[in-house]
Structure 1
Amino acid sequence: MRRSFYEFLMTLRNADSVEPEAEFAMNAFRDTSFPKQEQNYQKLSEYLELNAGYLPSMTIFDEAFQKYQETDKK
């Protein structure tokens, strides 16, 4: 079974890092409403655009989602 984007994102979590994807992961971890089971780009994007003031740029999400898709192909 394919893992969710949230499960992938948690592999990028690092409290000591200032990298944008690590900060995104930490903030998503703290976001109790984050759609943890979602795999769909459009639904995740919509959620983040409407609810994630902690994400300074959707480019960070786009790059993380691209990595998510690449790891799923392996």
Structure 2
Amino acid sequence: MGKTFYEYLMTQRDPNSSEPIANFAQAAFFDSTFPKQSHDYAELSNYLELNGSYLPSMDIFDAAFRNYQETQGSIMK
């Protein structure tokens, strides 16, 4: 089934970057309750709406999830 969203997000982690997705990945790394096994947009979005105070905008999650889906699509081909 490919990588989980969390596994993808960890490939974007860069503590020295100021890019929003890198910052999101860094914060998710330190979030011990992040749904690490999820592939599901709705589950992840709901979690972040309730618990993602470190995410300044859900637009960052949406962009990261689109990128994740694109990488999953290229793996499936």
What's the TM-score, normalizing by structure 1?
Answer: 0.98
In the alignment of these two chains, the number of paired residues is: 74
RMSD, aligned CA: 0.5
Is structure 2 residue 28 aligned with structure 1 residue 35? no
Q: Show structure 1 runs of 5+ residues with no match.
A: none
Q: Show structure 2 runs of 5+ residues with no match.
A: none
Q: Distance in 2 between matches of 1:53 and 1:73?
A: 30
Identity across the alignment (%): 58
SS of 1:53 mapped into structure 2: coil
Give CA deviations for 1:44-63 in whole Å, capped at 9, x if unaligned. 00000000100000000000
Alignment of 1:1-74 (within 5 A): 1-74=1-74
Give CA deviations for 1:1-34 in whole Å, capped at 9, x if unaligned. 3210000000000000010000000000000000
The alpha-carbon deviation at position 37 of structure 1 amounts to 0.3
